Amino acid sequence: MTETAAPTADTRGRLSALARLLPFARPYRGLIALTFTGALLASLTQLAVPLIARAVVDGPIARGDRAGLIPLLALALVFGVAEAALFFLRRWAMNISSLQIERDLRDTLYQRLQRLPVAFHDGWSSGQLLSRATSDVSTIRRFVGFGAVFLVVNLVTCAVVGALLVATYWPLGVAVLVTCLPLTFFGLRLEKRYNAESRQVQDEQGELATDVEEAVQGIRVVKSLGRSGLVFGRYDRKALRLQDLQLRKVRTLALIWCLFEFQPQLTLAVILVGGSLAVGSGALTVGGLVGFVALFTVLLWPILSLGFLLAQAQETASACDRIGELLDAPLTVTDAPGVRPAVVGSPARLRFEHVGFRFPGTGDPVLSDVDLEVQPGETVALVGATGSGKTTMTALVARLYDVTAGRVTLDGHDVRDLPLDQLRTVVASAFEEATLFSMSVRENVTLGRPGAGDAEVTEALQVAQADFVHDLPWGLDTRIGEQGLSLSGGQRQRLALARAVLGRPSVLVLDDPLSALDVHTEALVERALREVLAETTALVVAHRASTVLLADRVALLEDGRITAVGRHTDLLAQVPAYRALLSSESELAGLTDTDLSEVGAR
């Protein structure tokens, strides 16, 4: 898998990656401020209890004044009620803001995935993209809704309590601070290790998700070949690796927890020994020692939680890095600055002018100096050996890829100078591998023309011989399962073809869209499709005799170059390379003028 714009090992997972969340948090800064304020005040309110306890011991209890206990106990109750109210405020504001940020992040990420070019998706596995859009976003939401708040609040609490401890009895206060130094040193080292292990787990989860998705989508192939054991073995090896990585991560987290659990207990022992000596020497009152211990007890949770919170922060930083790899990936196919819609005829003139194309990071170009003109209303078939660049050439028309040399024009307008929305409205495509979505038949057919009326939909279905949809349980409103696998390959192709011809586009690009049809259905589709092609400009990839019959001219593509253009019979008679290509395709090689005239008369 190729990961575009991945961060370097030196920067990956640093807490600075959390800064990526600032643009998403900014719209909700009021709620976030309320969350932090409520959490901080609730935490600081807890400090009143140790101070009141010291006052109770050194005051009413020392003097035997029972009446003096009442106001102090009432004050403790007030602080308890205030803490509960602040806790509710924090939870309310925190949940709203974190869920809003999660939604905005998901929307932004999904929109980015839709805008990224096809070349980007060619280099990424779907499982890696899925894990970033689901588990990584959820990790960020959990941190924003809990970890970030208490990481800041607990650090502030530690600072405030540390100051109060020093103010209460500075020798013990300094001793507490000194015992925290080893905790900080070893904690940071373990956090760095935990971060690297978290990233490995997250990446391996993406790989495992890819295996699951491929196995589910290819379940027919797996079962038909009897390779369930092989597929499971491959999955199991990755699952065991993920288990090992997770156990390694758990061991590191356990060390972090052990360190942060041990340090407070050791410090408490120092406080009790040192405090007892201080009370015995008169340097500290009994109430002062009780208050000091109570203050340190308040500090226990912030210290213990810091290990978990820092680990969560590191894990979230890795998630931000992984999502950042998608958000930072370059948008190479976009609207040019200041681009405006242009007048494109229907049908339009399509031209390839000295077109060249190479995939990023590859050596030899796929297309070189391609020149081809398709007149308005003309159909040209592309014929060539496998790997000659036919599909790539058709993909350049709708800018699924951008040319790396030359240009493609519609009525003289460079397709890069047309808004993408306009370009992909006037150009419609149908591919050999028909892709359908988990939506109704109507929604699938009108995907490119959402405003199409019933009459247009019916006409497109008739052209594609897709009337079978009326026999489905709910007709056009029947929901198609994932990838349309509840339909046959021929049915999927017919629906994809109906989607392409809907609305009679200015340019129609067909990549062998009839390959899965039976002979009878194919003949019916060809007859109806010929009427559509008469009113549009079409570029058709030909692998079958029937496709050549649809074309006015044929273009021979060899090693990324157009080497001959003409009628099928002329090329067959005059171009040896064309004859050689078709020598193994008896259907194509046998087509004559008589065949073509007979088809034209149908």
Quick one: pLDDT at residue 545? 67
Output the six-digit token pair for 137.
């976003």
Q: What is the mean pLDDT of residues 184-212?
A: 79
Can you tell me the distance from the alpha carbon of 327 to that of 69, in angstroms, rounded to the nearest whole number?
61
Question: Which residues in the chain are classed under CATH 1.20.1560.10?
Answer: 17-195+261-327
Mean pLDDT across the chain: 83
The number of beta carbons lying within 10 Å of the beta carbon of residue 448 is 16
Q: Of the ranges 62-66, 155-159, 299-303, 498-502, which one carries the lowest mean pLDDT score?
A: 62-66
Widest distance between CA atoms in the chain = 122
pLDDT, tens only, 212-247: 877 776 766 676 667 778 888 888 888 898 899 889
The pLDDT tens digits for 149-178 are 888 888 888 888 888 888 888 888 888 888
pLDDT at 125: 83
Q: Is the previous residue joined to 347 through a cis bond, with omega within 30 degrees of 0?
A: yes
Residue 189: how many CB atoms within 10 A of its CB? 10
| Confidence tier at 393 by pLDDT (50, 70, 90) | very high
Report the pLDDT value the prediction gives residue 5, as an integer from 0 to 100: 40
Q: Which CATH class is domain 350-601?
A: alpha beta
Q: What is the DSSP string of 16-46?
A: GGGGGGHHHHGGGHHHHHHHHHHHHHHHHHT
Q: Are 418 and 344 in contact (CB under 8 A)?
A: yes
Across 583-592, average pLDDT = 53
- Judge whether residue 48 has pLDDT over 60: yes
Read off the pLDDT of each residue in 411-420 and give the average, rounded to a whole number.
Answer: 94
User: Exposed, middle or buried: residue 456 (CB in 10 Å: 0-12, 13-18, 19+)?
Assistant: middle
pLDDT at residue 141 is higher than 80: yes
Residue 557 CA, distance from chain mean position: 37
Q: What is the structure's pLDDT at 263?
A: 79
172-176, 187-191, 435-439, 492-496: range with lowest mean pLDDT: 187-191
Q: What is the pLDDT of residue 182?
A: 79
- What's the rounded Cα separation, in Å, for the pair 440 and 467? 15
Split at pLDDT 50, 70, 90, the class of 593 is very low
Residues 6+ apart with CB under 8 A from 214: none
Report how far residue 595's alpha carbon sits from residue 375's, in angstroms, rounded to the nearest whole number.
24
Mean pLDDT of 265-272: 83
pLDDT(592) > 70: no
Which of 5 and 374 is assigned the larger pLDDT? 374
pLDDT digits (tens, 9 = 90+) for 570-581: 888 898 888 888
User: Which of 28-37, 119-128, 559-568 is the least confident region?
Assistant: 119-128
Instruction: Give the CATH superfamily of 17-195+261-327.
Output: ABC transporter type 1, transmembrane domain (1.20.1560.10)
Residue range 104-127: mean pLDDT, rounded: 89
Amino acid at 105: L
Mean pLDDT, range 477-502, rounded to an integer: 83
Of 262 and 32, which is predicted with more confidence? 32
pLDDT given at position 314: 83
**Paired residues of 356 in beta bridges:** 405
For residue 568, the tally of other CB atoms under 10 A from its CB is 26
Name residue 501's amino acid: V
pLDDT band at 283 (very low <50, low <70, confident <90, very high): confident
Residue 112's pLDDT band (cuts 50, 70, 90): very high
pLDDT digits (tens, 9 = 90+) for 253-266: 888 778 877 878 88
For residue 586, pLDDT over 50 is answered with no
Where are the CATH 3.40.50.300 domain residues in the chain?
350-601
Global pTM? Answer: 0.76
Region 205-209: what's the mean pLDDT? Answer: 82
